């Protein structure tokens, strides 16, 4: 490779940049509902019209149903700073990111001083899965109770999720059936080679937590402290990903699918069925990209950050979780098996049900195997018990609701035979029982959307400023690309 001149060091952010992050995170105005896809894109195009030259829309792909996929570049044309990529809608049941993308874009347009201090060109994808988002719009305007949310919930089968359908070849696992949306995001990542990529996710119940692809100096403590400045709890219970390294309370490193493959294999379980594609963060790592995910709940509960001992062993908690998942999965699997011969329409709800219903049994098998590990005999924290029990509630409400929608589609269309109508009625009755059981949980708090958006906006700004400080200290414009990646 020919020698090139060393790029000038980037200007370091002013001391105390963390305090500015906390302040800006708290300045998000009240938000009463989540935007529909059409409303979100209209707002972005209005922003581009208001700031011609500064905001430049471009089409980057096409959804499976023919929807144009757009990215909005924010920054002075010809600027030579690093690229930052922000992607909303990677899971279509997670619309907090839509509000975050819009607020961040407006902030960057309205505050020239902030934009210049960050020294980056921003590429914002408001919604990378519009087809999936439209299937959730039934709950976007509320009421924001868990029952209404779950009854109108849609999440694609894993192989159809933008976040988890990047190509993978590892051991016996092979996946190359990338969705058109994923392919568009792959091209965009390869085009802009982002220094920072933020994919906008959220969970449902509990506390705030993060995933970070590497430890950036100063960033982990800033992320850890941010929710407290907004009056939000950290998640201190059962981690969503038990293999992710813990760097601080609620701040995790990213464990990729290869680790999950190896872990399941070490437990004597089939790893292939639970591993399909890899993630956007894994794909972007070829460019030396630092990736950040801030996971936020719609609802919180006092048990979410209760670290006191529960009086039960962790092994017992895992076994009870496995038993509940196994029993619930069998009920759904029986309904789906009886209905399959009568279902002749390939809907997103049916494809998702075919993927997620068997996952109950696979996860139950994994948790039962984990309960036999030597370290599982320790006392379980209250937060761990709550999270284990709530995952069962979450799975029942999410995937039971999607099976009801799958069986209900031909009923609503007037094409369902009598047996299918009876199976649908059985599914509705089971689902209503699960909803009633979940509704008995006391102490649940609906969180203000603006505070949740504040966490994502603040964590994004914190990551950008921490990277700026790191590169300024190193005297380079961006981290070198990993060996073997494009340069």
Binning the chain into helix, strand and coil, the percentages to the nearest 5 are 50, 15, 35
Looking at the DSSP bridge assignments, the partners of residue 251 are: 210, 248
Let me know the angle formed at the C-alpha of 344 by 340 and 345, rounded to the nearest 5 degrees.
115
pLDDT bin (cut points 50, 70, 90) of residue 472 is confident
Given a contact cutoff of 8 angstroms between Cβ atoms, the answer to whether 383 and 305 are in contact is yes
The percent of residues above 70 in pLDDT, for the chain, comes to: 94
Residue 5 reports pLDDT greater than 70: no
Residue 10 reports pLDDT greater than 60: no
CA dihedral (319, 320, 321, 323) in degrees, to 10, reads: 90
N- to C-terminal Cα separation, the chain: 10
Tokens of 414: 């007037």
pLDDT tens for each residue of 296-340:
999 999 999 999 999 999 999 999 999 999 999 999 999 999 999
pLDDT tens for each residue of 346-358:
999 999 999 999 9
pLDDT tens for each residue of 253-303:
997 888 888 888 888 888 787 778 899 999 999 999 999 999 999 999 999
pLDDT tens for each residue of 420-439:
999 999 999 999 999 999 99
Task: Map residue 123 onto helix, strand or coil.
Answer: strand
> How many Å apart are CA 317 and CA 378, to the nearest integer?
11
Task: Map residue 211 onto helix, strand or coil.
Answer: strand
If 0-12 CB within 10 Å is exposed, 13-18 middle and 19+ buried, where does residue 435 land? buried
Residue 7 reports pLDDT greater than 50: no
The percent of residues above 90 in pLDDT, for the chain, comes to: 84
pLDDT score for 79? 73
CA dihedral (355, 357, 358, 361) in degrees, to 10, reads: 150
Q: Could you tell me the residue ranges of all domains in the chain?
A: 17-301+446-474, 310-443
3-state SS track over 374-402: HHHHCEEEHHHHHHHHHHHHHHHHHHHHH
Cβ neighbors of 187 (< 8 A, separation 6 or more) are 60, 61
> How many Å apart are CA 9 and CA 477, to the nearest integer?
6
**Residue carrying structure tokens 């996971």:** 295
Q: Please name which of 235, 253, 351, 246 lies closest in space to residue 304, comparing C-alpha atoms.
A: 235
Instruction: Name the pTM for this structure.
Output: 0.92
pLDDT score for 476? 61
Is 17-301+446-474 a CATH 3.40.630.10 domain? Answer: yes
Residue 487 reports pLDDT greater than 50: no
> How many Å apart are CA 197 and CA 463, to the nearest integer?
10
If you average pLDDT over residues 178-190, what whole number do you get?
Answer: 97
Peptide bond into 36 cis (omega under 30): no
If you average pLDDT over residues 94-119, what whole number do you get?
Answer: 96
Residue 9 reports pLDDT greater than 50: no
Other beta carbons less than 10 A from residue 45's beta carbon: 15
If you average pLDDT over residues 120-128, what whole number do you get?
Answer: 97
């Amino acid at each position: 490779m020919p020698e090139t001149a060393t790029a000038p060091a980037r200007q370091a952010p002013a001391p105390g940049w963390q305090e500015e992050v906390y302040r800006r995170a708290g300045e998000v105005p009240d938000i009463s509902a989540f935007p529909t896809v059409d409303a979100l894109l209209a707002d972005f195009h209005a922003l581009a019209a208001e700031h011609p030259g500064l905001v430049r829309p471009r089409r980057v792909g096409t959804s499976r149903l023919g929807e144009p996929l757009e990215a909005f570049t924010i920054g002075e044309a010809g600027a030579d700073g690093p690229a930052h990529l922000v992607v909303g809608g990677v899971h279509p049941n997670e619309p907090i990111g839509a509000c975050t993308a819009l607020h961040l874009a407006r902030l960057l347009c309205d505050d020239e001083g902030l934009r210049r201090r960050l020294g980056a060109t921003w590429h914002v994808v408001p919604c990378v899965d519009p087809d999936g988002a439209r299937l959730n719009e039934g709950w976007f305007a509320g009421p924001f109770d868990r029952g209404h949310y779950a009854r109108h919930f849609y999440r694609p089968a894993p192989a159809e999720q933008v976040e988890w359908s990047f190509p993978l070849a590892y051991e016996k696992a092979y996946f190359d059936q990338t969705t058109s949306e994923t392919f568009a995001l792959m091209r965009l990542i390869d085009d802009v080679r982002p220094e920072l990529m933020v994919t906008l996710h959220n969970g449902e119940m509990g506390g705030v937590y993060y995933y970070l692809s590497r430890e950036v100096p100063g960033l982990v403590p800033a992320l850890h402290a941010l929710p407290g400045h907004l009056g939000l709890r950290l998640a201190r219970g059962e981690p969503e990903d038990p293999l992710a390294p813990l760097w601080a309370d609620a701040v995790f490193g990213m464990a990729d699918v290869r680790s999950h493959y190896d872990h399941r294999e070490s437990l004597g379980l089939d790893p292939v069925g639970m591993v399909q594609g890899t993630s956007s963060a894994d794909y972007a790592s070829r460019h030396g990209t630092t990736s950040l995910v801030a996971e936020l709940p719609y609802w919180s509960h006092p048990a979410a950050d209760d670290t006191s001992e529960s009086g039960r062993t962790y092994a017992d908690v895992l076994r009870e979780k496995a038993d509940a998942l196994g029993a619930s999965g069998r009920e759904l699997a029986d309904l789906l098996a009886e209905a399959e011969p009568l279902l002749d329409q390939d809907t997103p709800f049916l494809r998702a049900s075919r993927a997620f219903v068997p996952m109950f049994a696979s996860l139950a098998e994994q948790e039962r195997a984990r309960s036999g590990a030597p370290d599982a005999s320790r006392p379980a924290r209250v937060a761990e018990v709550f999270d284990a029990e709530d995952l069962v509630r979450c799975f029942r409400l999410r995937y039971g609701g999607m099976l009801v929608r799958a069986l209900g589609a031909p009923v609503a269309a007037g094409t369902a035979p009598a047996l299918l109508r009876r199976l649908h009625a059985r599914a509705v009755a089971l689902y209503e029982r699960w909803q009633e059981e979940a509704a008995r949980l006391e102490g649940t708090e609906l969180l203000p959307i603006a505070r949740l958006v504040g966490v994502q906006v603040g964590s994004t700004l914190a990551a950008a400023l921490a990277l700026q400080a790191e590169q300024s200290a190193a005297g380079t414009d961006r981290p070198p690309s990993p060996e073997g990646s494009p340069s």
